[in-house]
Copies of this chain bind each other. A is one copy, B any other.
């Protein structure tokens, strides 16, 4: 049973999940890349994964059989597990509870060698749409407080399999970084009666120099105080606290915007490893007025010394204004070739 434990000083919860250590990639300093023939996420290998939770597949195809376009499965090595009560209890001055929650994998495409920048806008929209479907479903579970959606791309960014996928972790606590955003946004709202993210959008549109792309309902910017070179935020221009609250057409716009942004980063930085994280409000609607959902994209370009996690002190060698200018100039009409053995087999 994984365990959630709270640091008594700074209040951060962590998961101690010894089951995860059984993953084939754990602790190996050099990971192995799987080919499509070995990949558990490829069609024909459905029995290598737990049974699917949901899949987008044409009528007439069977669950857990090939034919699907997109597939959501429980993580085979889950950080949190679904069954059980929270059993929160003290241990001297410490706090712990059972590691209850959900850990799912969104296999974004059947094509081993296809990533988001090669997909059609409709394919990306389907991925964003299934994020929403899973969030809505999991928000019904009264034990859960937060649903964290993220993507690791490239081995150096923590992706243990190269087949394009995202992950969802639904948890009974609010992760520290989101809690900090909530606290800061609430303090600003209490003082100004305005959402700080809405004010940031306003100022970024006025300043202009940190804008990467203006995609209608969404703004793509380099933040004013980025921790990392080319750290990129994608923010809805009008106030919206949750990722699940968008209109149907907004998911299409977001799909085009996200695809274009990832393409800019890929072309500008030679396909960098990256992570993106959807920052949305917690399950509770209490945060509606002052929290504003957004996506943070973090390319892994520099060696981040542990001292930076350890101190919370970041030295960034690239000014966001320069990074934004560089990304704006990328010609996004040049889509790079697909790679890998399967590229030729697919349309």
Contacts and interface: CB of A to CB of B under 8 A. Distances in A.
Interface of A: 3, 5-21, 23, 25-27, 29, 31, 79, 91-94, 148, 150, 152, 155-159, 169, 171, 175-181, 183-185, 188, 196-197, 199-200, 203, 206-207, 223-227, 229, 274-275, 277, 296, 298, 300-320, 322
A26 to B, nearest CB: 6
A23 B315 CA distance: 13
A219 to B, nearest CB: 15
A152 to B, nearest CB: 5
Interface SS majority for chain A: mixed
Given A6-B225, A175-B312, A225-B5, A150 B92 contact: no
A47 B275 CA distance: 42
A181 B26 contact: no
Contacts of A23: 317
Contacts of A319: 3, 16, 18
A313 B9 contact: no
A275 B306 contact: yes
A19 to B, nearest CB: 8
Given A152-B307, A306-B300, A313 B225 contact: no
Q: Give the one of A21, A224, A304, A318 with max B CB within 10 A.
A: A224
A295 B290 CA distance: 37
A148 B31 CA distance: 34
A148 B311 contact: yes
Contact of A310 (B6, B179, B275): B275
Nearest to A298: B306
B310 A15 contact: no
B225 A13 contact: yes
27 contacts: A3-B319, A7-B225, A8-B196, A9-B181, A13-B225, A15-B314, A16-B225, A18-B322, A26-B302, A27-B229, A27-B301, A94-B224, A150-B311, A152-B305, A152-B306, A158-B304, A159-B305, A176-B311, A177-B312, A177-B313, A178-B311, A178-B312, A277-B306, A277-B307, A298-B310, A304-B304, A309-B309
A148 B311 CA distance: 8
A15 B226 CA distance: 9
